Structure 1
Amino acid sequence: MSSLLYKEISTKEDAAACLLCHDAPCTKACPHEIKVDTIIRSLRFENKAGAVNKLPHLLPCENCDAKPCEKSCLKSNINQAVPIDRIMKAMSAEQKIKESEVDLSIEFCGIKCENPFFLSSSVVGSNYEMVAKAFDMGWAGVTFKTIGTFVPEEVSPRFAALSKESLPFVGFKNIEQISEHTLEENINFLKQLKKDYPGKIIIASIMGQNEEEWMKLAELMTEAGADIIECNFSCPHMSIDGVGSDVGQNPDLVTAYTKATRKGTRLPILAKMTPNTGNMEVQAKAAMNAGATGIAAINTIKSIMNVNLKTFESEPNVKGKTSVGGYSGKAIKPIALRFIHDMKKCEDLKDIPISGMGGIETWKDAAEFMVLGCENVQVTTSIMQYGYRIIDDLIEGMKFYLSTEGYRSISEIVGKALDNILPADKLERDSICYPKFDREKCVGCGRCFLSCYDGGHQAIKVDESSKKPVLQAKNCVGCLLCSLVCPIDAISPRKRVKKAQ
């Protein structure tokens, strides 16, 4: 049992302890030149196949008693070193996967992209040096940080993170505005990027304050060499009224500003939608009817976080004050997917190109957006945590997934999940899935009992001798809350059966 538990649970926990250092000392210390840091990083980013395939055929760790990698681990300065030797030995027991040739290139808004992974409009793509580095590392394109005719005055600090239990970064809040560079500087950045990286895709995000500015900015971005124009109708925390999400919640303004942008360019136009609305389809249809080519969604969600219960100040804390800001990160992914789904299920929008964003950290997150209909994805918050290097596992993880599932091109998965999401009244309600308990894996912690009794239907009792769960079938409704709270994945659904009459 201990071996099984280690492989399924402990390896993840061990890898989660890694600090994901820059210029990792563990890799530098390895006398066998094993890329320790990239292997652990692949595990963290759900690219287990990539981690296993990076190991040498014969793992020298078996005969390495000195463990220089662990001795150099910076985590030991906090409590204890990451158990690198244990991780490597566990991975070496896994079967390597042969990767088939798959094509990650995809057409978006009529433009061929080498892969679907783009930087989103934010600080991660805000000057020449940053974007050039990202392009060199394999990112296919950038939505450059939103360009306006003015340079905003920013505050300090302007970021905050939401934590939970041992997780330091569940969600992220920012109160940063559009580009801190002048219009002239930004135009020069775009021109130089297009000159030096002609095969990469540049989306110029713009924000005007009136129709004339929207048209003029579109003209300037077109002249600078942009491939696509993105209209930022969605920033939730601008300090100027009548811009950002104020526009995105108003179909009339969306119409007027999209039309103005169309007057200024022949390029494809993306309307970036705000999630700070109940029904995104209304504004999306307004944009498409006014000349947009596609939609970008979602931007950040209006939020307040981390109220200090001694000082009653919130974050980001600017001399004791803060403002409503934009919430992003992994926590908003389900919300983003819901908006994407709603637009793709709308008859008037089902065939439009969508660039998806909101909580994408791994290849798996990106694939979820794509199977719901996106042909392109954009990333910011994950890069802010881990750096541009996440592109390695986005690309490799996606390739392993596609080849393992028998796909030859990433375009084959676009929209594959849409038919499986139905209105609530269409779901099958005459059958039930009871939980199945794996008694070999179960350690008798009683978490399933607590959740079922206090938050469910009192369908589990604990056997006094074994301390393991026993199902009370007459009370069980098949909600499977127990399987979600089990810390070691020892509970799974049984085969679906007809409900008793």
Structure 2
Amino acid sequence: MDKLLYKETSLLEEAGGCLLCHEAPCTKACPYELEIDKVIRSYRFENIFGAINRLPEALPCSSCVDKPCLSACLKGKINAPVPIPDMFEKLTSYEKVEKEEVDLSIDFCGIPCENPFFLSSSVVGSNYEMVAKAFDMGWAGVAFKTIGTFVPKEVSPRFDALRKEALPFVGFKNIEQISDHTLEENLAFIRDLKRDYPTKIFVASIMGQTEEEWTYLAKIVTEAGADIIECNFSCPHMASNGLGSDVGQNPELVAAYTKAVKKGTHLPVLAKMTPNIGNMEIPALAAVEAGADGIAAINTIKSIMNVDTDSFVSGPFVSGKTSVGGYSGKAVKPIALRFIHTMKTHPGLTHTPISGMGGIESWKDAFEFMALGCENIQVTTSVMQYGYRIIDDMIEGMKYYLSTHGYKSVKEIVGKALVHTIPADELERDSICYPKFDRNQCVGCGRCYISCYDGGHQALRQDKDTKKPIMDGKKCVGCHLCLLVCPVGAISAGTRVKKRENQPAN
């Protein structure tokens, strides 16, 4: 059987196993000076063309006898090294793609940005050194960690992660509050960063406790040199009541505090929305009607995770106790996209600029937010896990996508997906799309059969000899559960046909 049939599956497994080391030993060990770490990282973050184009036409790995990259690979200290030569051999089977010149610049709330990628208001942008490093690496802007008139008393530890099977970081919880720097220190950070990086965009996230405080904070961050103000109406775990998401769930408070901020500044003002609500468009509309120039969404979701089987305490474990915290990471992306869509299709918010965030790790994630109407993207959790360096593949991956799909500017994709999500009662319900099985690629594991029988419509059985699936068209409803669980991609969508009269209803 041709091993290349499984190259994408095995490549994902191999890239996913890489530790993504800082100053990667494999790259240092390579006698041919291949950018091993960048190739693997590019593939892992969906920048496939970037990975392919970093490899030479004549791959030297086959003639490399000692394979020093494998000896240097730190994953080998855990179990087995990443199979770098085999992985690169598979990558060379793809055709290289030329990247045409495209424009990633975009205006947001009237502010020109060199690209759409910003750090979101969090620990990843909380002092001069951090933000300066991010700017040097290519990030276009930062929503600085929320500034207030008080310095919170923090806990330790304050982070926890959700795991699933071999995946160490499906979701993330934090119970961290606003900036732990004084107001004077934060204002100095703004001044210094705008002095040294005048073309980068500084979004000052602020949180007041009264209307007077909101106005005061808006005034002083404006004087310090901020470009945009973001109102934190959404932090889900402040120690005091009446702050963060307590505000965001109350349209009257959102409107009052937005007006208070507008009194203190001439800058564009964003209202950052909480997802801990059923209808985000209600407070968002209240903010816009009160003068907000744009919306930022979403903040983290109130959560509890990882209840310990011995202590019965959930994480993070703080002296035998914990609290409800904010959930973020890749797992919240579908929730964020739903809120973005709801706001961008609301008549009162259609033309309101939105800065989108929630589970963005790659250019493809960013694309989804932009396709649903966002003009700006903010990132935190993936930076905490992988570092600022993910900007390389966000920028390069987006450029490859645009140039290979005939776009000249990132502006062209904004909102293009909105028309394709319609009310459920308008969906086509008189036809069915049966699954299509590639029996050459099928390995006969039976995953599709198990899922169809135990979680579907009992439309599949396994051939007694080959163990390959056989479909009963009278029972299949075209739900595509089998397609989703197939570990080798041997099932795809087939031809759509009209339903038979006796076709099951569900």
Partner of 1:235: 235
User: Which shows bigger deviation, 86-95 or 178-187?
Assistant: 86-95
Partner of 1:390: 390
Q: Is the 8 A contact 1:125 1:131 kept in 2?
A: yes
Partner of 2:182: 182
Give CA-to-partner distance per residue, 1:134-166, whole Å, 9 cap, x none: 000000000000000000000000000000000
User: Which shows bigger deviation, 229-238 or 47-56?
Assistant: 47-56
Partner of 1:445: 445
Does residue 1:74 correspond to 2:78, yes or no? no
Does residue 1:96 correspond to 2:96, yes or no? yes
Distance 1:186 1:201 in 2: 16
How far off its partner does 1:493 sit?
1.1
Give CA-to-partner distance per residue, 1:384-404, whole Å, 9 cap, x none: 000000000000000000001
Amino acid at match of 1:48: I
Partner of 1:324: 324
Local SS of the residue matching 1:467:
coil
Structure-to-structure mapping, 1:77-476, within 5 angstroms: 77-476=77-476
How far off its partner does 1:5 sit?
3.3
Q: Taking every aligned residue pair, what percent have the same amino acid on both sides?
A: 71
Partner of 1:23: 23
Local SS of the residue matching 1:169:
strand
How far off its partner does 1:58 sit?
1.9
With normalisation by structure 2, the TM-score equals 0.98
How far off its partner does 1:92 sit?
1.6
Q: Is the 8 A contact 2:126 2:145 kept in 1?
A: yes
Give CA-to-partner distance per residue, 1:61-94, whole Å, 9 cap, x none: 1211110111100011101111011111111221
Partner of 2:504: none
How far off its partner does 1:59 sit?
1.4
Local SS of the residue matching 1:299:
coil
Unmatched 5+ stretches in structure 1: none
Local SS of the residue matching 2:347:
coil
Local SS of the residue matching 1:496:
strand
Unmatched 5+ stretches in structure 2: 502-506
Distance 2:465 2:3 in 1: 24
Distance 2:324 2:130 in 1: 28
Distance 2:445 2:59 in 1: 36
Amino acid at match of 1:407: Y
Local SS of the residue matching 2:171:
strand
How far off its partner does 1:57 sit?
2.6
Give CA-to-partner distance per residue, 1:353-394, whole Å, 9 cap, x none: 000000000000000000000000000000000000000000
Does residue 1:3 correspond to 2:3, yes or no? yes
Amino acid at match of 1:123: V
Q: Is the 8 A contact 1:296 1:356 kept in 2?
A: yes
Give CA-to-partner distance per residue, 1:326-372, whole Å, 9 cap, x none: 00000000000000000011000000000000000000000000000
Q: Is the 8 A contact 1:314 1:320 kept in 2?
A: no
With normalisation by structure 1, the TM-score equals 0.99
Q: Is the 8 A contact 2:4 2:90 kept in 1?
A: no
Amino acid at match of 2:283: Q
Distance 2:497 2:6 in 1: 33
Distance 1:81 1:5 in 2: 23
Local SS of the residue matching 1:51:
helix
Q: Is the 8 A contact 1:147 1:186 kept in 2?
A: yes
How far off its partner does 1:3 sit?
1.6
Amino acid at match of 1:245: S
How far off its partner does 1:11 sit?
1.2
Partner of 2:12: 12
Distance 1:495 1:414 in 2: 30
Distance 1:334 1:65 in 2: 46
Give CA-to-partner distance per residue, 1:196-227, whole Å, 9 cap, x none: 00000000000000000000000001001000
Q: Is the 8 A contact 1:354 1:376 kept in 2?
A: yes
Q: Is the 8 A contact 2:258 2:287 kept in 1?
A: yes
Amino acid at match of 1:335: I
Amino acid at match of 2:122: S
Local SS of the residue matching 1:433:
strand
Distance 1:465 1:83 in 2: 33
Q: Is the 8 A contact 2:337 2:372 kept in 1?
A: yes
How far off its partner does 1:4 sit?
2.4
Give CA-to-partner distance per residue, 1:407-441, whole Å, 9 cap, x none: 00000000000000000000010000011110000
Distance 1:491 1:66 in 2: 39
Distance 1:71 1:254 in 2: 57
Q: What is the number of residues matched between the two proteins? A: 501
Distance 2:16 2:331 in 1: 18
Distance 1:57 1:434 in 2: 41
Does residue 1:479 correspond to 2:484, yes or no? no
Distance 1:8 1:181 in 2: 46
Amino acid at match of 2:48: K
Local SS of the residue matching 1:219:
helix
Amino acid at match of 1:21: C
Amino acid at match of 2:161: A
How far off its partner does 1:60 sit?
1.3
Give CA-to-partner distance per residue, 1:297-318, whole Å, 9 cap, x none: 0000000000012210110000
User: Which shows bigger deviation, 308-317 or 379-388?
Assistant: 308-317
Deviation beyond 4 Å, 4+ runs, structure 1: none
Amino acid at match of 2:282: V
How large is the RMSD of aligned CA atoms in angstroms? 0.6
Local SS of the residue matching 1:434:
strand
Local SS of the residue matching 2:457:
coil
